[in-house]
Chains A and B, each alone.
Chain A
């Protein structure tokens, strides 16, 4: 099982949503969580602080989740980070886009703690291989 001290970065422009994700993570025992309100802020935090896991919304002003994902994968320091993409859409083309950009997982709003855990476990399994 994953280390409960993992440091998460939750990226969403809607603070209520950040809080929801934070609460769900807390339910799963992950309390080391920081937040960012868009891709730009997130990228800055990622470059200046240490994180183990990124949970990001797709649709955000300034820098979208997919742009953040590409920036993370293009950065030698950050490219290994697990990246879970959250979105309200479950369109095929979105999923393909996220997958090709290198997302570790994809979760559709709204979701429960159980769904989130399942997605995360899958990501951890893949990491450990």
Chain B
């Protein structure tokens, strides 16, 4: 049971909005380090804390009010030039921001956040008093500063200032006010249960000043009325979305139009069923169906757009991340972001966070050198990391580029062998580009010194797995001494999958179009056996040939005529199929309860027949395990005169 029962929705809104606001504040803080006297920045940051404080006050989150109130006052002094910004002060401010963020996390689990760290409050108070140095060391007796702290919430001022307002109002407006006792009686001491109930009844306010520290109950209170089940507990992924009303209206309009077209079709059906087969009727039918076709694809697009969110929501967290890490490592790093307005499916944005955090950390930790190393190499001391996003065709490409030392393929190769991740023979057959891919192997880590930041070798393989789950691709380019670029390519959405429909064994199958590089006719004379496996040379590239029937372990019914050049994570191969149906945009329906190997799901084709959508990675993985099934099958298919 949450302590915010009855207020979940409001709390969620508050968290959603405040988290964005705080990220914005974070970035502005990073900016502020560069331009400490920028008044507009100081104003914005002031307003950020002020706004969060206001919301937190209504939600009765006293600890958050306490921190924001002090930080806000600090910025008030900064913007009025009563205080100067020092790096010590910056650390205090960043600590406070971090503490507020932690409270958001606690709140998102429906729990009341704990009281703020007294040492941090003491530092804030000292900073406010202008003698930060005095409290630099963690205070031994934190109780003292807390006691002498200014009132945490502004609320007590309501009472003390109330009569002033009335008097002033009379003085200014000249209205003779009856001398009403307008001061509400000071809140009587309330016990904890009452405080908790007040929260439930969404009547916060005047209880805060009464017991600023006691608002957080020691143990969750049992409550009489059950929390409305608004979609399970509030935690982890956001399950609400904010949509531009223009986009929502578009969906509404289109569904209306589809309704109209449906009516038209119904009328036409009646006519046709009654035997009216005139040319005009049939032409109208044709028109209505073409219109429906257009409308449905428009509707699909419009619905998809409601799920699209700017990737900036994600990106805005990273400058602070990079800054903190760089500071910790004693490096000078600037993170430059472009393309934050690029839009991506909401669920993908959420799933991208972990991989991107990892890549940013990697770039700061492993990618770029320390200032000294850089100077020695003739580079400028400050390193640059660029994070970009852009839409290329129907894909989103996210790139993270550093100007660091780059990767040495040889070192990677040796490392992989030393760690026993691959055998020497395989390793030596890898070209430079393939060597770079070795970092995606589970258990690979190039740093000899394991730092607290990264380098536990759990990262890159997880990053790749996560990207692949999103039907994306990840690619590395690196030039020694110049830097590394990691590119992630993602489909716009997961809801609709563009596929190539092929036929084998008299049945249609769909393969993801993202993996298809090209289609070639199979010339049997061009097939060569390399270590017992059939291959075809395409533009100097030796590619293994695998029949679809072989991969499926089915009896081939005819000789494959076409090859689909497929690109999976790091290997390419040719998938031999009987024939093609064409390309299509399909909606995958997952198969419930059964999960045949290599099948991602099923979809309906235009003629109403069921088409299996293949999961090529899965299909290939199975093939690896059972000692090259595909090629065995291919040799079994000798009757096709290979």
Contact = CB atoms under 8 A, between A and B. Distances in A.
Interface of A: 13-17, 19-20, 23, 57, 59-61, 88-92, 95-96, 99-100, 102, 105-106, 108-115, 118, 122, 126, 129
A111 B205 contact: yes
B393 to A, nearest CB: 35
A126 B47 CA distance: 33
B464 interface: no
B13 A108 contact: no
B154 A108 contact: yes
B236 interface: no
A102 B173 CA distance: 8
Which 9 A-B pairs give the minimum distances between C-beta atoms? A90-B157, A110-B57, A16-B14, A110-B58, A112-B205, A99-B172, A99-B168, A90-B161, A110-B205
B158 A108 contact: yes
B341 to A, nearest CB: 20
30 contacts: A13-B47, A14-B51, A14-B54, A16-B55, A17-B54, A17-B58, A19-B10, A19-B13, A20-B55, A20-B58, A59-B50, A88-B54, A88-B154, A90-B158, A90-B160, A95-B168, A99-B171, A99-B172, A106-B165, A108-B154, A108-B158, A109-B58, A110-B54, A110-B205, A111-B205, A112-B203, A113-B203, A118-B184, A122-B182, A129-B175
A127 to B, nearest CB: 10
B18 interface: yes
A99 B155 CA distance: 20
Interface in B181-224: 182, 184, 202-206, 208
B164 A95 contact: yes
Contacts of A113: 203
B169 interface: yes
Interface string B622-637: 0000000000000000
Given A99-B165, A108-B157, A108-B158, A88 B175 contact: no
A111 B50 CA distance: 16
A79 to B, nearest CB: 13
Contacts, number: 99
Nearest to B169: A99
A112 B187 CA distance: 13
Nearest to A57: B54
A14 B513 CA distance: 44
Contacts of A129: 175
A112 B18 CA distance: 21
A88 B53 CA distance: 8
A108 B155 contact: yes
Given A19-B13, A61-B47, A110 B168 contact: no
Interface in B235-286: none
Given A14-B54, A23-B202, A92-B161, 7 more contacts: A13-B47, A61-B47, A88-B53, A95-B161, A113-B203, A114-B203, A126-B175
Contacts of B21: 14
A114 B185 CA distance: 13
Contacts of B17: 14-16
Interface string B35-64: 000000000100100110111011010000
Contact of A59 (B47, B160, B173, B206): B47
Nearest to B43: A61
A109 B203 contact: no
B13 A109 contact: no
A77 B57 CA distance: 35
Contact of A110 (B155, B161, B177): B155
